[in-house]
Structure 1
Amino acid sequence: MKDITRIYLWSGPRNISTALMYAFAQREDTKVFDEPLYAYYLSNTQAKEYHPGSEDILKSMENNGEKVIESMMKETSKPVLFFKNMTHHLLDLDREFMKDVVNVILIRNPEDMIPSFAKVIENPTINDIGYAQHSELIAYFKSNNIKPIVLDSTKLLQNPEKVLRAFCNKANIDFNKNMLQWNIGARPEDGVWAKYWYANVHKSTGFSKYKKKTEAFPEYLLPLLEECQPHYNKLLPYAIS
Protein backbone atom coordinates (compact mmCIF):
# COMPACT_ATOMS: atom_id res chain seq x y z
CA MET A 1 0.00 0.00 0.00
CA LYS A 2 1.47 3.34 -1.07
CA ASP A 3 1.48 6.56 0.93
CA ILE A 4 1.15 4.94 4.33
CA THR A 5 1.39 7.30 7.31
CA ARG A 6 3.17 5.58 10.18
CA ILE A 7 2.58 7.42 13.46
CA TYR A 8 4.92 6.40 16.26
CA LEU A 9 3.76 7.68 19.63
CA TRP A 10 6.52 7.95 22.25
CA SER A 11 4.97 8.35 25.68
CA GLY A 12 5.67 7.78 29.33
CA PRO A 13 3.39 5.51 31.38
CA ARG A 14 0.23 6.74 33.15
CA ASN A 15 -0.33 9.29 30.45
CA ILE A 16 -3.30 9.40 28.07
CA SER A 17 -1.50 7.25 25.50
CA THR A 18 -4.17 4.53 25.63
CA ALA A 19 -6.97 7.07 25.19
CA LEU A 20 -5.08 8.47 22.20
CA MET A 21 -4.77 4.95 20.80
CA TYR A 22 -8.52 4.48 21.29
CA ALA A 23 -9.14 7.78 19.48
CA PHE A 24 -7.16 6.64 16.45
CA ALA A 25 -8.90 3.26 16.55
CA GLN A 26 -12.17 5.04 15.70
CA ARG A 27 -10.84 5.94 12.25
CA GLU A 28 -11.74 3.52 9.46
CA ASP A 29 -8.45 4.31 7.72
CA THR A 30 -6.33 3.41 10.76
CA LYS A 31 -4.98 0.31 12.51
CA VAL A 32 -3.56 0.68 16.03
CA PHE A 33 -0.89 -1.31 17.86
CA ASP A 34 -0.40 -1.39 21.63
CA GLU A 35 3.20 -1.14 22.92
CA PRO A 36 4.86 -3.61 20.53
CA LEU A 37 8.26 -3.14 22.22
CA TYR A 38 7.06 -4.01 25.73
CA ALA A 39 8.41 -7.58 25.75
CA TYR A 40 11.74 -6.42 24.32
CA TYR A 41 12.00 -3.91 27.16
CA LEU A 42 11.13 -6.46 29.84
CA SER A 43 13.49 -9.10 28.44
CA ASN A 44 16.42 -6.67 28.62
CA THR A 45 15.83 -4.98 31.99
CA GLN A 46 15.09 -5.79 35.60
CA ALA A 47 11.58 -4.38 35.07
CA LYS A 48 10.36 -7.92 34.40
CA GLU A 49 10.81 -8.55 38.14
CA TYR A 50 8.23 -5.96 39.18
CA HIS A 51 5.96 -5.20 36.20
CA PRO A 52 2.56 -6.89 36.65
CA GLY A 53 1.86 -9.59 34.07
CA SER A 54 5.44 -9.65 32.80
CA GLU A 55 5.48 -13.43 32.29
CA ASP A 56 2.42 -13.27 30.03
CA ILE A 57 3.88 -10.33 28.11
CA LEU A 58 7.18 -12.12 27.50
CA LYS A 59 5.40 -15.29 26.37
CA SER A 60 2.87 -13.64 24.06
CA MET A 61 5.02 -11.03 22.28
CA GLU A 62 8.18 -10.86 20.18
CA ASN A 63 11.17 -10.31 22.50
CA ASN A 64 13.62 -9.26 19.79
CA GLY A 65 13.48 -5.48 19.38
CA GLU A 66 15.04 -5.41 15.91
CA LYS A 67 12.39 -7.86 14.68
CA VAL A 68 9.64 -5.70 16.21
CA ILE A 69 10.91 -2.59 14.41
CA GLU A 70 11.17 -4.54 11.16
CA SER A 71 7.60 -5.80 11.59
CA MET A 72 6.27 -2.30 12.29
CA MET A 73 8.00 -0.88 9.24
CA LYS A 74 6.66 -3.67 7.00
CA GLU A 75 3.05 -3.32 8.19
CA THR A 76 0.78 -2.19 5.35
CA SER A 77 -2.74 -3.12 6.50
CA LYS A 78 -4.19 0.43 6.55
CA PRO A 79 -3.35 3.88 5.14
CA VAL A 80 -2.68 5.14 8.69
CA LEU A 81 -0.81 3.00 11.22
CA PHE A 82 -0.68 4.15 14.85
CA PHE A 83 1.94 2.54 17.09
CA LYS A 84 1.60 3.39 20.78
CA ASN A 85 5.05 3.06 22.37
CA MET A 86 6.71 3.89 25.65
CA THR A 87 9.89 5.92 25.12
CA HIS A 88 11.86 3.90 27.68
CA HIS A 89 11.04 0.68 25.80
CA LEU A 90 13.47 1.76 23.06
CA LEU A 91 16.55 1.08 25.15
CA ASP A 92 19.52 0.91 22.74
CA LEU A 93 17.68 0.10 19.52
CA ASP A 94 18.89 1.72 16.31
CA ARG A 95 16.73 4.80 15.75
CA GLU A 96 17.34 5.08 11.99
CA PHE A 97 13.72 4.08 11.26
CA MET A 98 12.50 7.29 12.92
CA LYS A 99 13.57 9.27 9.85
CA ASP A 100 10.75 7.67 7.85
CA VAL A 101 7.82 8.00 10.27
CA VAL A 102 5.74 10.63 12.08
CA ASN A 103 7.21 10.82 15.58
CA VAL A 104 4.98 12.08 18.39
CA ILE A 105 6.19 12.71 21.93
CA LEU A 106 3.43 12.67 24.53
CA ILE A 107 4.32 14.34 27.83
CA ARG A 108 2.54 14.74 31.14
CA ASN A 109 3.30 16.91 34.14
CA PRO A 110 5.24 14.64 36.53
CA GLU A 111 3.28 16.08 39.46
CA ASP A 112 0.25 14.28 38.02
CA MET A 113 1.98 11.27 36.52
CA ILE A 114 4.34 9.99 39.24
CA PRO A 115 1.74 9.40 42.01
CA SER A 116 -0.46 7.57 39.51
CA PHE A 117 2.38 5.29 38.41
CA ALA A 118 3.44 4.62 42.01
CA LYS A 119 0.00 3.13 42.74
CA VAL A 120 0.97 0.19 40.50
CA ILE A 121 4.77 0.18 40.89
CA GLU A 122 5.62 1.45 44.35
CA ASN A 123 9.19 2.74 44.10
CA PRO A 124 9.75 3.97 40.55
CA THR A 125 12.98 5.47 39.26
CA ILE A 126 13.44 7.93 36.40
CA ASN A 127 14.33 4.99 34.14
CA ASP A 128 10.82 3.57 34.66
CA ILE A 129 8.90 6.60 33.45
CA GLY A 130 10.55 8.00 30.34
CA TYR A 131 11.30 11.66 31.13
CA ALA A 132 15.07 11.44 30.61
CA GLN A 133 14.52 9.31 27.51
CA HIS A 134 12.22 12.02 26.10
CA SER A 135 15.11 14.49 26.36
CA GLU A 136 17.49 12.02 24.72
CA LEU A 137 15.02 11.49 21.90
CA ILE A 138 14.62 15.24 21.31
CA ALA A 139 18.42 15.56 21.11
CA TYR A 140 18.51 12.73 18.55
CA PHE A 141 15.74 14.35 16.51
CA LYS A 142 17.55 17.71 16.47
CA SER A 143 20.85 16.16 15.38
CA ASN A 144 19.12 14.27 12.56
CA ASN A 145 16.80 17.08 11.39
CA ILE A 146 13.68 15.13 12.43
CA LYS A 147 10.73 17.31 13.39
CA PRO A 148 8.59 15.57 16.02
CA ILE A 149 5.10 16.52 17.12
CA VAL A 150 4.89 17.22 20.86
CA LEU A 151 1.63 16.72 22.74
CA ASP A 152 1.00 17.62 26.36
CA SER A 153 -1.75 15.61 28.03
CA THR A 154 -3.07 18.62 29.99
CA LYS A 155 -3.47 20.74 26.86
CA LEU A 156 -5.06 17.84 24.97
CA LEU A 157 -7.60 17.17 27.73
CA GLN A 158 -8.43 20.87 28.01
CA ASN A 159 -9.33 21.09 24.31
CA PRO A 160 -9.32 17.66 22.60
CA GLU A 161 -10.76 18.72 19.25
CA LYS A 162 -8.50 21.72 18.78
CA VAL A 163 -5.33 19.83 19.68
CA LEU A 164 -6.25 16.72 17.67
CA ARG A 165 -7.05 18.86 14.62
CA ALA A 166 -3.63 20.52 14.88
CA PHE A 167 -2.00 17.12 15.44
CA CYS A 168 -3.64 15.63 12.35
CA ASN A 169 -2.66 18.67 10.31
CA LYS A 170 0.99 18.27 11.31
CA ALA A 171 0.81 14.54 10.52
CA ASN A 172 -0.71 15.33 7.08
CA ILE A 173 -3.88 13.34 7.68
CA ASP A 174 -7.49 14.50 7.81
CA PHE A 175 -9.06 15.06 11.19
CA ASN A 176 -11.98 12.72 11.92
CA LYS A 177 -14.59 13.71 14.53
CA ASN A 178 -15.02 10.02 15.44
CA MET A 179 -11.70 10.36 17.27
CA LEU A 180 -13.43 12.28 20.06
CA GLN A 181 -15.55 9.40 21.38
CA TRP A 182 -15.57 5.62 21.68
CA ASN A 183 -17.59 2.84 23.22
CA ILE A 184 -17.09 1.99 26.87
CA GLY A 185 -14.99 -1.11 27.58
CA ALA A 186 -11.86 -2.82 26.30
CA ARG A 187 -10.59 -3.02 22.72
CA PRO A 188 -9.23 -6.11 20.93
CA GLU A 189 -5.93 -4.27 20.36
CA ASP A 190 -5.31 -3.94 24.12
CA GLY A 191 -2.13 -5.56 25.35
CA VAL A 192 -2.35 -8.47 27.81
CA TRP A 193 -1.36 -5.97 30.54
CA ALA A 194 -4.60 -4.00 30.14
CA LYS A 195 -6.19 -5.43 33.30
CA TYR A 196 -3.43 -3.86 35.39
CA TRP A 197 -3.31 -0.42 33.77
CA TYR A 198 -6.43 0.40 31.70
CA ALA A 199 -9.27 0.51 34.24
CA ASN A 200 -9.95 4.23 33.73
CA VAL A 201 -9.89 4.23 29.94
CA HIS A 202 -12.19 1.18 29.90
CA LYS A 203 -14.74 3.25 31.83
CA SER A 204 -14.45 6.19 29.46
CA THR A 205 -16.27 7.13 26.27
CA GLY A 206 -13.91 9.95 25.29
CA PHE A 207 -11.18 12.21 26.63
CA SER A 208 -11.90 13.09 30.25
CA LYS A 209 -11.80 16.70 31.40
CA TYR A 210 -8.49 17.64 32.96
CA LYS A 211 -8.59 17.80 36.75
CA LYS A 212 -5.59 18.90 38.75
CA LYS A 213 -4.77 16.42 41.51
CA THR A 214 -5.80 17.71 44.90
CA GLU A 215 -4.14 15.20 47.20
CA ALA A 216 -0.70 16.00 48.59
CA PHE A 217 2.24 14.78 46.53
CA PRO A 218 3.84 11.78 48.32
CA GLU A 219 6.91 13.00 50.16
CA TYR A 220 9.00 9.93 49.35
CA LEU A 221 8.56 10.65 45.62
CA LEU A 222 9.74 14.27 45.78
CA PRO A 223 13.35 13.45 44.76
CA LEU A 224 12.02 11.71 41.65
CA LEU A 225 9.82 14.72 40.87
CA GLU A 226 12.88 16.98 41.08
CA GLU A 227 14.66 14.73 38.59
CA CYS A 228 11.79 14.64 36.12
CA GLN A 229 10.51 18.23 36.21
CA PRO A 230 13.38 19.80 34.19
CA HIS A 231 12.85 17.29 31.35
CA TYR A 232 9.13 18.09 31.25
CA ASN A 233 9.73 21.84 31.44
CA LYS A 234 12.14 21.64 28.51
CA LEU A 235 9.58 19.94 26.24
CA LEU A 236 6.44 21.82 27.27
CA PRO A 237 7.06 24.93 25.10
CA TYR A 238 7.03 22.71 21.98
CA ALA A 239 3.62 21.20 22.74
CA ILE A 240 0.58 21.90 20.57
CA SER A 241 -1.85 24.20 22.36
Structure 2
Amino acid sequence: MAADASTSTSSATADPARPATVILWSHPRSCSTMFEMMFLGKGDFNVLHEPMGESWYYSKERVHQRFSQETCEKSEHWNYTYDKAWKDVSTPHPTKRTFSKDMASYIINTSLPLGTVAPSYEGTPTTPTNPTLIPTSELLQPHIVHTFLIRHPRRAVPSYARLCYPGAKTGFDYFDPSEMGYAESRRLFDFIREATGQAPHIVQAETLLQEPKKVVSEYCKAVGVDFNEDMLEWNSATRDHFAKWKGWHEDAEQSTGVGRRSPSVDSNSDKAAPAAHKPKEDKPLSDELLKTIEANLEDYEYLRSFASKA
Protein backbone atom coordinates (compact mmCIF):
# COMPACT_ATOMS: atom_id res chain seq x y z
CA MET A 1 0.00 0.00 0.00
CA ALA A 2 1.28 3.44 -0.85
CA ALA A 3 1.70 6.21 1.67
CA ASP A 4 -1.06 8.75 2.28
CA ALA A 5 -0.83 11.85 0.17
CA SER A 6 0.07 13.85 3.27
CA THR A 7 3.29 11.85 3.61
CA SER A 8 4.00 11.32 -0.06
CA THR A 9 6.57 13.98 -0.78
CA SER A 10 9.34 12.11 -2.54
CA SER A 11 12.58 13.11 -4.14
CA ALA A 12 11.70 10.66 -6.90
CA THR A 13 9.26 13.16 -8.39
CA ALA A 14 12.02 15.76 -8.71
CA ASP A 15 13.78 13.91 -11.55
CA PRO A 16 11.61 13.35 -14.64
CA ALA A 17 14.20 10.89 -15.96
CA ARG A 18 13.51 8.67 -12.94
CA PRO A 19 9.70 8.72 -12.58
CA ALA A 20 8.37 7.86 -9.14
CA THR A 21 5.89 5.29 -10.45
CA VAL A 22 6.55 2.73 -13.18
CA ILE A 23 3.49 0.81 -14.38
CA LEU A 24 3.66 -2.32 -16.51
CA TRP A 25 0.35 -2.97 -18.25
CA SER A 26 -0.09 -6.52 -19.46
CA HIS A 27 -2.65 -9.22 -20.18
CA PRO A 28 -3.01 -12.67 -18.57
CA ARG A 29 -0.16 -15.15 -19.03
CA SER A 30 2.22 -12.65 -20.62
CA CYS A 31 5.25 -13.49 -18.42
CA SER A 32 4.67 -10.23 -16.54
CA THR A 33 5.40 -11.82 -13.17
CA MET A 34 9.04 -12.05 -14.24
CA PHE A 35 9.18 -8.26 -14.20
CA GLU A 36 7.84 -8.25 -10.65
CA MET A 37 10.51 -10.72 -9.61
CA MET A 38 13.19 -8.46 -11.08
CA PHE A 39 11.96 -5.38 -9.24
CA LEU A 40 11.28 -7.24 -6.00
CA GLY A 41 14.95 -8.08 -5.87
CA LYS A 42 16.14 -4.52 -6.28
CA GLY A 43 15.14 -3.40 -2.79
CA ASP A 44 14.70 0.24 -3.74
CA PHE A 45 11.23 -0.31 -5.24
CA ASN A 46 7.81 -0.63 -3.65
CA VAL A 47 6.32 -3.43 -5.79
CA LEU A 48 2.55 -3.74 -6.28
CA HIS A 49 0.86 -6.83 -7.68
CA GLU A 50 -2.30 -6.12 -9.70
CA PRO A 51 -4.02 -3.74 -7.25
CA MET A 52 -6.61 -2.69 -9.84
CA GLY A 53 -7.81 -6.28 -10.14
CA GLU A 54 -9.38 -6.10 -6.71
CA SER A 55 -11.57 -3.21 -7.81
CA TRP A 56 -12.40 -4.86 -11.14
CA TYR A 57 -13.42 -8.22 -9.68
CA TYR A 58 -14.50 -7.61 -6.08
CA SER A 59 -15.36 -4.00 -5.24
CA LYS A 60 -18.75 -2.30 -5.20
CA GLU A 61 -17.59 -0.77 -8.50
CA ARG A 62 -16.67 -4.13 -10.00
CA VAL A 63 -16.78 -4.48 -13.76
CA HIS A 64 -16.51 -8.24 -14.18
CA GLN A 65 -19.21 -10.56 -12.85
CA ARG A 66 -17.03 -13.64 -12.38
CA PHE A 67 -17.79 -13.73 -8.66
CA SER A 68 -21.23 -13.51 -7.08
CA GLN A 69 -22.56 -10.40 -5.39
CA GLU A 70 -22.51 -12.23 -2.07
CA THR A 71 -18.88 -13.27 -2.52
CA CYS A 72 -17.86 -9.73 -3.39
CA GLU A 73 -19.74 -8.13 -0.51
CA LYS A 74 -18.00 -10.49 1.91
CA SER A 75 -14.64 -9.79 0.34
CA GLU A 76 -12.15 -7.52 2.06
CA HIS A 77 -11.99 -5.62 -1.23
CA TRP A 78 -15.67 -4.61 -1.41
CA ASN A 79 -14.86 -1.02 -0.46
CA TYR A 80 -11.62 -0.92 -2.44
CA THR A 81 -13.03 1.35 -5.10
CA TYR A 82 -11.15 2.65 -8.09
CA ASP A 83 -10.15 5.93 -6.50
CA LYS A 84 -8.57 4.08 -3.57
CA ALA A 85 -6.81 1.51 -5.73
CA TRP A 86 -5.39 4.15 -8.06
CA LYS A 87 -4.26 6.27 -5.14
CA ASP A 88 -2.22 3.31 -3.90
CA VAL A 89 -0.61 3.03 -7.32
CA SER A 90 -0.06 6.69 -8.10
CA THR A 91 0.84 8.28 -4.78
CA PRO A 92 4.64 8.48 -4.60
CA HIS A 93 6.16 6.33 -1.89
CA PRO A 94 8.00 8.41 0.74
CA THR A 95 11.31 6.55 0.41
CA LYS A 96 11.16 4.32 -2.68
CA ARG A 97 10.04 4.36 -6.26
CA THR A 98 7.00 2.23 -7.11
CA PHE A 99 6.69 -0.57 -9.67
CA SER A 100 3.13 -1.73 -10.30
CA LYS A 101 2.24 -4.65 -12.55
CA ASP A 102 -1.37 -4.76 -13.64
CA MET A 103 -3.79 -5.73 -16.39
CA ALA A 104 -4.94 -3.03 -18.80
CA SER A 105 -8.42 -4.57 -18.77
CA TYR A 106 -8.76 -3.88 -15.04
CA ILE A 107 -9.19 -0.14 -15.59
CA ILE A 108 -11.51 -0.35 -18.60
CA ASN A 109 -15.22 -1.08 -18.89
CA THR A 110 -15.85 -1.67 -22.58
CA SER A 111 -19.63 -1.47 -22.09
CA LEU A 112 -19.41 2.23 -21.16
CA PRO A 113 -18.87 5.21 -23.47
CA LEU A 114 -15.42 6.76 -23.70
CA GLY A 115 -14.85 9.44 -21.11
CA THR A 116 -16.76 7.62 -18.33
CA VAL A 117 -15.02 7.47 -14.97
CA ALA A 118 -15.67 5.14 -12.04
CA PRO A 119 -18.43 6.25 -9.62
CA SER A 120 -15.84 6.98 -6.93
CA TYR A 121 -14.41 9.63 -9.28
CA GLU A 122 -17.77 11.29 -9.88
CA GLY A 123 -17.24 15.02 -10.30
CA THR A 124 -13.63 14.66 -11.42
CA PRO A 125 -13.30 15.81 -15.03
CA THR A 126 -11.73 13.61 -17.66
CA THR A 127 -11.26 13.79 -21.42
CA PRO A 128 -13.83 12.48 -23.93
CA THR A 129 -11.44 10.00 -25.57
CA ASN A 130 -10.22 8.40 -22.33
CA PRO A 131 -11.17 4.68 -22.43
CA THR A 132 -10.39 4.09 -18.75
CA LEU A 133 -12.31 4.49 -15.50
CA ILE A 134 -9.50 6.72 -14.21
CA PRO A 135 -9.70 10.47 -14.94
CA THR A 136 -7.06 11.63 -17.39
CA SER A 137 -5.54 14.01 -14.85
CA GLU A 138 -4.98 11.04 -12.53
CA LEU A 139 -3.92 8.53 -15.17
CA LEU A 140 -1.34 10.76 -16.85
CA GLN A 141 0.33 12.36 -13.86
CA PRO A 142 3.85 13.50 -14.79
CA HIS A 143 5.57 11.27 -12.24
CA ILE A 144 4.03 8.11 -13.75
CA VAL A 145 5.50 6.22 -16.72
CA HIS A 146 3.34 3.66 -18.52
CA THR A 147 4.84 0.60 -20.21
CA PHE A 148 3.35 -2.52 -21.81
CA LEU A 149 4.09 -6.22 -22.15
CA ILE A 150 2.53 -8.51 -24.76
CA ARG A 151 2.72 -12.20 -25.62
CA HIS A 152 1.42 -14.04 -28.67
CA PRO A 153 -2.18 -15.23 -28.12
CA ARG A 154 -1.18 -18.71 -29.27
CA ARG A 155 0.83 -18.97 -26.06
CA ALA A 156 -1.19 -16.81 -23.69
CA VAL A 157 -4.73 -18.02 -24.42
CA PRO A 158 -4.19 -21.78 -23.83
CA SER A 159 -2.03 -20.97 -20.81
CA TYR A 160 -4.85 -18.94 -19.28
CA ALA A 161 -7.53 -21.49 -20.12
CA ARG A 162 -5.55 -24.26 -18.40
CA LEU A 163 -5.91 -22.39 -15.11
CA CYS A 164 -9.66 -21.83 -15.42
CA TYR A 165 -11.70 -24.95 -14.71
CA PRO A 166 -14.03 -26.25 -11.97
CA GLY A 167 -12.03 -26.75 -8.79
CA ALA A 168 -8.96 -24.84 -9.95
CA LYS A 169 -6.80 -23.52 -7.12
CA THR A 170 -6.93 -20.13 -8.84
CA GLY A 171 -10.63 -19.89 -7.95
CA PHE A 172 -11.46 -19.25 -11.60
CA ASP A 173 -13.79 -22.13 -12.43
CA TYR A 174 -14.45 -21.29 -16.08
CA PHE A 175 -12.62 -19.74 -19.01
CA ASP A 176 -13.88 -16.33 -20.14
CA PRO A 177 -12.40 -15.10 -23.44
CA SER A 178 -13.25 -11.50 -22.54
CA GLU A 179 -10.57 -11.56 -19.84
CA MET A 180 -7.67 -11.87 -22.30
CA GLY A 181 -7.35 -8.09 -22.49
CA TYR A 182 -5.57 -7.51 -25.80
CA ALA A 183 -8.18 -5.04 -27.02
CA GLU A 184 -8.01 -3.14 -23.75
CA SER A 185 -4.22 -3.01 -23.94
CA ARG A 186 -4.49 -1.52 -27.41
CA ARG A 187 -7.07 1.07 -26.35
CA LEU A 188 -5.00 2.14 -23.36
CA PHE A 189 -1.79 2.23 -25.39
CA ASP A 190 -3.37 4.34 -28.12
CA PHE A 191 -4.89 6.77 -25.66
CA ILE A 192 -1.60 7.34 -23.86
CA ARG A 193 0.27 7.65 -27.18
CA GLU A 194 -2.18 10.20 -28.56
CA ALA A 195 -2.55 12.16 -25.32
CA THR A 196 1.18 12.45 -24.66
CA GLY A 197 2.56 12.40 -28.19
CA GLN A 198 4.87 9.54 -27.30
CA ALA A 199 4.41 5.80 -27.72
CA PRO A 200 4.84 3.91 -24.43
CA HIS A 201 7.59 1.30 -24.29
CA ILE A 202 6.35 -2.17 -25.27
CA VAL A 203 8.14 -5.44 -24.55
CA GLN A 204 7.40 -8.72 -26.32
CA ALA A 205 7.49 -11.69 -23.96
CA GLU A 206 9.09 -13.91 -26.60
CA THR A 207 11.96 -11.46 -27.05
CA LEU A 208 12.32 -11.11 -23.29
CA LEU A 209 12.81 -14.86 -22.95
CA GLN A 210 15.24 -15.05 -25.86
CA GLU A 211 17.40 -12.04 -25.02
CA PRO A 212 16.73 -11.13 -21.38
CA LYS A 213 19.82 -9.03 -20.78
CA LYS A 214 19.27 -6.88 -23.84
CA VAL A 215 15.52 -6.48 -23.33
CA VAL A 216 15.65 -5.72 -19.61
CA SER A 217 18.55 -3.31 -20.06
CA GLU A 218 16.57 -1.41 -22.67
CA TYR A 219 13.47 -1.41 -20.47
CA CYS A 220 15.43 -0.04 -17.53
CA LYS A 221 16.82 2.73 -19.70
CA ALA A 222 13.31 3.66 -20.81
CA VAL A 223 12.02 4.00 -17.23
CA GLY A 224 15.11 5.49 -15.59
CA VAL A 225 16.28 2.43 -13.67
CA ASP A 226 19.90 1.43 -13.21
CA PHE A 227 20.28 -1.98 -14.82
CA ASN A 228 22.51 -4.69 -13.48
CA GLU A 229 22.62 -8.35 -14.44
CA ASP A 230 21.63 -9.41 -10.93
CA MET A 231 18.08 -8.36 -11.86
CA LEU A 232 17.88 -11.39 -14.15
CA GLU A 233 18.24 -13.82 -11.25
CA TRP A 234 16.33 -14.22 -7.99
CA ASN A 235 15.49 -16.64 -5.23
CA SER A 236 12.12 -18.28 -4.67
CA ALA A 237 11.34 -16.63 -1.31
CA THR A 238 8.56 -14.46 -2.73
CA ARG A 239 5.40 -16.46 -2.15
CA ASP A 240 3.77 -13.99 0.25
CA HIS A 241 3.89 -11.29 -2.42
CA PHE A 242 1.67 -13.37 -4.73
CA ALA A 243 -0.60 -14.89 -2.07
CA LYS A 244 -3.74 -13.01 -3.12
CA TRP A 245 -3.75 -14.65 -6.58
CA LYS A 246 -3.13 -18.27 -5.62
CA GLY A 247 -2.22 -20.72 -8.35
CA TRP A 248 -1.37 -18.16 -11.00
CA HIS A 249 2.35 -17.60 -10.49
CA GLU A 250 3.90 -20.81 -9.18
CA ASP A 251 6.34 -21.22 -12.04
CA ALA A 252 7.69 -17.68 -11.72
CA GLU A 253 7.86 -18.00 -7.93
CA GLN A 254 9.86 -21.20 -8.14
CA SER A 255 12.11 -20.11 -10.98
CA THR A 256 15.54 -18.62 -10.47
CA GLY A 257 15.73 -16.17 -13.34
CA VAL A 258 14.21 -14.77 -16.51
CA GLY A 259 13.18 -17.62 -18.78
CA ARG A 260 14.39 -20.35 -16.47
CA ARG A 261 12.06 -23.29 -15.92
CA SER A 262 9.66 -22.35 -18.72
CA PRO A 263 11.12 -20.56 -21.73
CA SER A 264 8.67 -22.16 -24.15
CA VAL A 265 5.94 -23.86 -22.13
CA ASP A 266 3.93 -23.01 -19.07
CA SER A 267 4.85 -25.74 -16.62
CA ASN A 268 2.84 -24.08 -13.88
CA SER A 269 -0.27 -24.28 -16.02
CA ASP A 270 -0.03 -28.04 -16.36
CA LYS A 271 1.16 -28.56 -12.79
CA ALA A 272 -1.71 -26.50 -11.39
CA ALA A 273 -4.33 -28.72 -12.98
CA PRO A 274 -5.24 -32.20 -11.71
CA ALA A 275 -4.41 -35.12 -13.99
CA ALA A 276 -7.84 -35.12 -15.60
CA HIS A 277 -7.35 -31.54 -16.75
CA LYS A 278 -3.72 -31.67 -17.86
CA PRO A 279 -3.55 -31.14 -21.62
CA LYS A 280 -1.38 -33.35 -23.78
CA GLU A 281 1.19 -31.46 -25.81
CA ASP A 282 -0.24 -32.80 -29.07
CA LYS A 283 -3.88 -32.29 -28.15
CA PRO A 284 -5.60 -29.93 -30.60
CA LEU A 285 -6.98 -26.75 -29.13
CA SER A 286 -10.73 -26.46 -28.74
CA ASP A 287 -12.76 -24.35 -31.15
CA GLU A 288 -13.33 -21.86 -28.34
CA LEU A 289 -9.61 -21.37 -27.79
CA LEU A 290 -8.87 -21.17 -31.50
CA LYS A 291 -11.54 -18.52 -31.91
CA THR A 292 -10.17 -16.61 -28.92
CA ILE A 293 -6.67 -16.68 -30.36
CA GLU A 294 -7.93 -15.47 -33.72
CA ALA A 295 -10.03 -12.74 -32.13
CA ASN A 296 -6.97 -11.28 -30.39
CA LEU A 297 -4.43 -11.56 -33.19
CA GLU A 298 -5.15 -8.19 -34.79
CA ASP A 299 -4.72 -6.29 -31.53
CA TYR A 300 -1.59 -8.26 -30.70
CA GLU A 301 -0.02 -7.60 -34.10
CA TYR A 302 -0.89 -3.92 -33.84
CA LEU A 303 0.84 -3.61 -30.48
CA ARG A 304 3.75 -5.72 -31.70
CA SER A 305 4.36 -3.18 -34.45
CA PHE A 306 5.29 -0.69 -31.72
CA ALA A 307 7.29 -3.14 -29.62
CA SER A 308 10.91 -2.53 -28.81
CA LYS A 309 13.18 -4.30 -31.28
CA ALA A 310 15.89 -5.31 -28.84
Whether these two folds match at TM > 0.5 is: yes
* Separation in structure 2 between the aligned mates of residue 177 and residue 136 of structure 1, nearest angstrom: 33
* Separation in structure 2 between the aligned mates of residue 186 and residue 57 of structure 1, nearest angstrom: 27
Change in CA separation of 1:197 and 1:235 when aligned onto 2, cut-off 3 Å: same
Given candidates 82, 87, 90, the residue that maps to 1:65 is: 82
1:224 aligns with 2:292: yes
Q: Give secondary structure in 2 for the equivalent of 1:123.
A: coil
Q: CA deviation at 1:185?
A: 4.2
Given candidates 14, 37, 40, the residue that maps to 1:22 is: 37
More helix by share: 1
Q: Give secondary structure in 2 for the equivalent of 1:7.
A: strand
Q: Report the more deviating stretch, 4-13 or 92-101.
A: 92-101
> C-alpha offsets along residues 49-108 of structure 1, whole Å, 9 cap, x if unaligned?
28xxx7599415852111211232223144421001111110223243332211111101
Q: Give secondary structure in 1 for the equivalent of 2:289.
A: helix
Give the equivalent residue in structure 2 for 1:86: 103
Change in CA separation of 1:161 and 1:75 when aligned onto 2, cut-off 3 Å: same
Give the equivalent residue in structure 2 for 1:233: 301
User: Residue type matched to 1:208 in 2?
Assistant: G
Q: CA deviation at 1:144?
A: 0.3
Structure having greater relative contact order (Cα 8 Å, sep ≥ 6):
1
* Separation in structure 1 between the aligned mates of residue 159 and residue 137 of structure 2, nearest angstrom: 33
User: Residue type matched to 1:120 in 2?
Assistant: L
CA contact (8 A) 1:185 1:204 kept: no
Q: Report the more deviating stretch, 202-211 or 167-176.
A: 202-211
* Separation in structure 2 between the aligned mates of residue 79 and residue 231 of structure 1, nearest angstrom: 35
Q: Give secondary structure in 2 for the equivalent of 1:189.
A: helix
CA contact (8 A) 1:109 1:232 kept: yes
Q: Give secondary structure in 2 for the equivalent of 1:147.
A: coil
1:176 aligns with 2:228: yes
Q: Report the more deviating stretch, 174-183 or 204-213.
A: 204-213
1:132 aligns with 2:183: yes
Q: Please give the residue correspondences for 1:153-172 in structure 2 after superposition, counting only pairs within 5 Å.
A: 153-172=205-224
Q: CA deviation at 1:189?
A: 2.5
CA contact (8 A) 1:87 1:134 kept: yes
Give the equivalent residue in structure 2 for 1:74: 91
Change in CA separation of 1:83 and 1:120 when aligned onto 2, cut-off 3 Å: same
Quote the sequence identity (%). Answer: 24
1:96 aligns with 2:137: yes
Change in CA separation of 1:141 and 1:63 when aligned onto 2, cut-off 3 Å: same
User: Residue type matched to 2:82 in 1?
Assistant: G
* Separation in structure 1 between the aligned mates of residue 74 and residue 229 of structure 2, nearest angstrom: 33
Give the number of equivalent residue pairs. 236
Change in CA separation of 1:61 and 1:164 when aligned onto 2, cut-off 3 Å: farther
User: Residue type matched to 2:89 in 1?
Assistant: M
Coordinate RMSD, CA, aligned: 2.3
* Separation in structure 1 between the aligned mates of residue 236 and residue 39 of structure 2, nearest angstrom: 15
Larger Rg over CA atoms: 2
Q: CA deviation at 1:225?
A: 1.2
Given candidates 6, 12, 28, the residue that maps to 1:3 is: 12
Give the equivalent residue in structure 2 for 1:143: 194
User: Residue type matched to 2:291 in 1?
Assistant: P
| Structure 2 gap segments, 5+ residues each | 1-9, 14-18, 109-132, 165-173, 267-280
| Structure 1 gap segments, 5+ residues each | none
Change in CA separation of 1:71 and 1:220 when aligned onto 2, cut-off 3 Å: closer
* Separation in structure 2 between the aligned mates of residue 106 and residue 220 of structure 1, nearest angstrom: 24
> C-alpha offsets along residues 20-54 of structure 1, whole Å, 9 cap, x if unaligned?
1011111122120111111110131344328xxx7
